[in-house]
Amino acid sequence: MVIEVVRIGQRVVRDDRVTTHVALVSRAFGCSKIFMTEVNPEIKDTLEKINKTWGGDFVVEFIDNWKSIVKMKKVDYKIVHLTMYGESINDVDEQLGKEENLLIVVGAEKVPREIYELADYNVGIGSQPHSEISALAILLDRIQKGNQFKNSFSNARRKIIPTKKGKNVIVAERRD
């Protein structure tokens, strides 16, 4: 399964941290790419540093128009829009897990009405206001059934070894 994310909009300055965390969750939970509009370019630098240290080849791509990406991807991907007002995750998670390619749309502020129509799935995680970061993490965990945590990140300089107490981190030799 290929999973990518589109982040629509950003409330300037206020959302830098939230958008960074949407990208971090996307990367850590098995997505291959995130498309972003209206974003601080330092976010891309941060994710590139994370890739260098922790491995992987997660891609951050800046775009001008979310609609053109969604329409282009709709040919080969199912479009999943995370919204408080959608179908319950409990009703669609099994079906989403069977899809071959997903493009997940995560809004910042009020998203344009058109995304509701373009989406194949409008999915709600709970029926109360909460963070788009938590909604994305829950969706990705549900559709992958926790298997995303078995992924190995290639070229990692650091790797955490799970341990009951303390910290166990393997640091590889520098390869640059």
Q: How many helices (H) and strands (E) does the chain have?
A: 6, 8
Residue 171 and residue 102: Cα distance in Å, rounded? 34
**Angle subtended by helix axes 16-28 and 42-54, to nearest 10:** 30
3-state secondary structure (DSSP) of residue 67: helix
What stretches of 63-109 adopt beta strand conformation (E)? 78-88, 101-107
Residue 137 and residue 140: Cα distance in Å, rounded? 5
Residue 84 and residue 128: Cα distance in Å, rounded? 7
Output the six-digit token pair for 84: 């408080």
Contacts of residue 130, defined as CB under 8 A and 6 or more positions apart, other chains included, come to none
Q: Where are the domains of the chain?
A: 2-171
Residue 11's pLDDT is 55
Residue 152 and residue 169: Cα distance in Å, rounded? 15
Q: What is the CATH number of domain 2-171?
A: 3.40.1280.10
pLDDT per residue of the chain (176 residues) written in tens, 0 to 9: 888 788 876 555 567 888 899 999 999 999 999 999 877 888 999 999 999 999 999 999 999 999 999 999 999 999 999 998 899 999 999 999 999 999 999 987 778 899 999 999 999 998 888 889 999 999 999 999 999 998 889 899 999 999 999 999 999 876 55
Residue 142 and residue 73: Cα distance in Å, rounded? 22
Contacts of residue 44, defined as CB under 8 A and 6 or more positions apart, other chains included, come to 60, 62
Burial of 140 (0-12, 13-18, 19+ CB in 10 A): buried
How crowded is residue 157: how many other Cβ atoms within 10 Å of its Cβ?
A: 15
